[in-house]
Structure 1
């Protein structure tokens, strides 16, 4: 057992830019893709992943430093430190619960695909960290390691269900056939966006506003261009951070560069993954009686969309302002500000790319996250202590993106019902999976 655990830790330690190409290569071979084509796909995905990482580092490095100064200037009275979701992966994979989830999830995933309960083959191993985090929340609340491991399994099942439910809309909007996004942090927002969009449809005036990125460009000319919007937002953040003229203009150019380069890196990533997605489709037609199989990937594939990037950048000042004016909020967005694109990206298709609706919906969503991350701070702090993870402070810590409904659901279930509560969630998830993939899908295919 120790040998297996050490091997898995070593594999994860290679980093996603190394282990993801290996996984893509192996999955390609399983799906009958030629070895040479699988190899090139893996390498291309790795290059795209490195490119995405470089762009995100540019964003978090340049914009992140300015945001930290903004936080120091405007939010020193808030008591809970936003440690950021960036530590989620290292936290999860430094624990036995997180490492065990990798083989368990892959085995159960293949079994569920074979049974026709899910259409999603999740190869986004790095983002197993969020289900692992939910398992650690359960373990922290119940004090039981076994219950925590069970919680991780229930969490990945919920992840596949959400991916199945929303795959068609998301893949159509972003133009990624055969791809499902399995990043639960991103999927969670869809559950909020769908009812909010329905409400917006019934608000006079608002329901008639058409403001996608293309229409904004036509209406506002150069100022509607996403690159120019990035430049303007970067300049505004630089001014609020107290930078001098050179710093302000430099930050503006860095932000504009991210808006321009990010879509190109995503395109390279997709260049590598598409042969695998096609192979999965062919494999399903030949060996699984025509069942469709979507390759589960990271939400990073979607953050290069112009509306996603524009809304994510605008959410930075909005979230800071909200944290300062909302009564009862104790957390200042800090470590998570550079990751907002991953939280809101999948909400955008369900607002039909409408910028106005997206900003309104994401602002309301941010309010819920600020309050929930404040409420969850004692639980999040206990998780870090459980994992013996040094957070550099003796006070309460949390992260804004921990304030999502799955974290609340698992926390309340574990607190009040223990393993029974998790079992009830599992039964509900499997029942909905059965309906979605065994009852509804065949009827839609016949129609």
Structure 2
């Protein structure tokens, strides 16, 4: 089992850019695309993800540094540090059930498609760590491998079903056909976020405010261009972080680059994905009459939308301020601040690119997320210790906004603790 675990962890450690080309090559051959076209499609998708990751790394490093300085300027003294999704994935992959569950989850996915429970074939194996994390939570509390495996599989089923339900948003708003985005970081705000959005739509005055890119560009001309808005937001973040004029300007240019380059990288990825997607539809029409199949991918491909990125950047200082004033919150936002674009992807699609509503809904969701992450801290810290993850000096506990602040994971935590106390 250790050898299998080591091999799986090595392959997974290569990341989506290395795994996806191989996975899509195999899918292309299965769907009858042919060897040459399958190779080209897989490599093109891999290259697209390399480009996307480079831009996201730029976003993460620049926003992360500015956010850290904002935290220092405010003088927050919170005892639970947000270790970010890297710490959560480390705990997930370090679980003794990880190697086995990868194969089980793939098999379950195929079975669910055959029995029409889902239309999504989730090929983004790297992001299976969200399911493994849920299993690790249950294993940490119960020390029961069976219960942990059941929790991971159930969460995967929920993600796939949610992916199916949300596919029209991917197609209509993000204009990506035959693709679902069942990534945990983008699904975490969907249930409550959509409910908050629904309530806002029924509040007089607020329901009339619509700030979207079409309106901004129409009123402000060149100053409404995504790259110019990115520069402006970056400069504001820089000044909030205490940067001098030159540093703030550089941050602004980097954010403008993110706004301009990211959509182009996504176009490259979709260029490779389209032949496989079309082949999959033809294959299913031949094998299964009146059936359609969606390919489940990382929700990073939704970040090319200017409203998503702009809303997320505005929400970074808001989350830091909320963390400093909310009574009972103990989480210091840090590692996952750059993941906020993932959280707001479907919220933005749900309100059709209304930046005002996305920021308002996001602010409300952040309050709930911080409290859930605080509640998750003790179990999360225990998981980090079990995975031999080094906790920063001076920090008493760890949590994660992406994982500890996820409604689905929090529900799993509450149910497991309740059942464990009874039995």
* TM-score of the aligned structures, taking structure 1 as reference length: 0.90
Q: How many angstroms apart in 2 are the aligned matches of 1:88 and 1:270?
A: 29
1:73 corresponding residue in structure 2: 73
Alpha-carbon offset, residue 65 of structure 1? 1.5
Within 5 Å, which residues of 2 pair with 1:242-391? 242-391=242-391
1:397 corresponding residue in structure 2: 398
Of 89-98 and 125-134, deviating more is 89-98
Within 5 Å, which residues of 2 pair with 1:389-428? 389-393=389-393, 395-401=396-402, 402-418=404-420
Q: How many angstroms apart in 2 are the aligned matches of 1:400 and 1:12?
A: 23
Alpha-carbon offset, residue 147 of structure 1? 1.5
Alpha-carbon offset, residue 418 of structure 1? 4.8
Within 5 Å, which residues of 2 pair with 1:425-436? none
Q: How many angstroms apart in 1 are the aligned matches of 2:85 and 2:3?
A: 29
Please give the secondary structure, in 2, of the residue aligned with 1:174: coil
Q: Is the 8 A contact 1:222 1:228 kept in 2?
A: yes
Of 265-274 and 89-98, deviating more is 89-98
1:431 corresponding residue in structure 2: none
1:137 corresponding residue in structure 2: 137
Q: How many angstroms apart in 1 are the aligned matches of 2:90 and 2:51?
A: 21
Alpha-carbon offset, residue 420 of structure 1? 11
Q: How many angstroms apart in 1 are the aligned matches of 2:139 and 2:81?
A: 23
Q: How many angstroms apart in 2 are the aligned matches of 1:379 and 1:358?
A: 31
Q: How many angstroms apart in 1 are the aligned matches of 2:147 and 2:388?
A: 19
Q: Is the 8 A contact 1:92 1:129 kept in 2?
A: yes
Q: How many angstroms apart in 1 are the aligned matches of 2:90 and 2:39?
A: 28
Structure 1 position 91 matched with structure 2 position 86: no
Within 5 Å, which residues of 2 pair with 1:185-264? 185-264=185-264
Of 403-412 and 5-14, deviating more is 5-14
Q: How many angstroms apart in 1 are the aligned matches of 2:177 and 2:370?
A: 34
Alpha-carbon offset, residue 36 of structure 1? 0.9
Alpha-carbon offset, residue 99 of structure 1? 2.4
1:432 corresponding residue in structure 2: none
Q: How many angstroms apart in 2 are the aligned matches of 1:248 and 1:14?
A: 34
Q: Is the 8 A contact 2:85 2:335 kept in 1?
A: yes
Aligned residues: 421
Alpha-carbon offset, residue 419 of structure 1? 12
Offset from partner CA, 1:263-289 (integer Å, 9 cap, x none) = 111111111111111111111111122
Offset from partner CA, 1:325-379 (integer Å, 9 cap, x none) = 2111111211111111111111111112111111111111111111111111112
Alpha-carbon offset, residue 3 of structure 1? 4.3
* TM-score of the aligned structures, taking structure 2 as reference length: 0.95
Q: How many angstroms apart in 2 are the aligned matches of 1:341 and 1:127?
A: 16
Q: Is the 8 A contact 1:190 1:350 kept in 2?
A: no
Offset from partner CA, 1:219-277 (integer Å, 9 cap, x none) = 23344332222111211221222222221111111111111111111111111111111
Q: Gaps spanning 5+ residues in structure 1: where?
A: 422-447
Q: CA RMSD in A?
A: 1.8
Q: How many angstroms apart in 1 are the aligned matches of 2:153 and 2:264?
A: 35
Q: How many angstroms apart in 2 are the aligned matches of 1:321 and 1:2?
A: 45
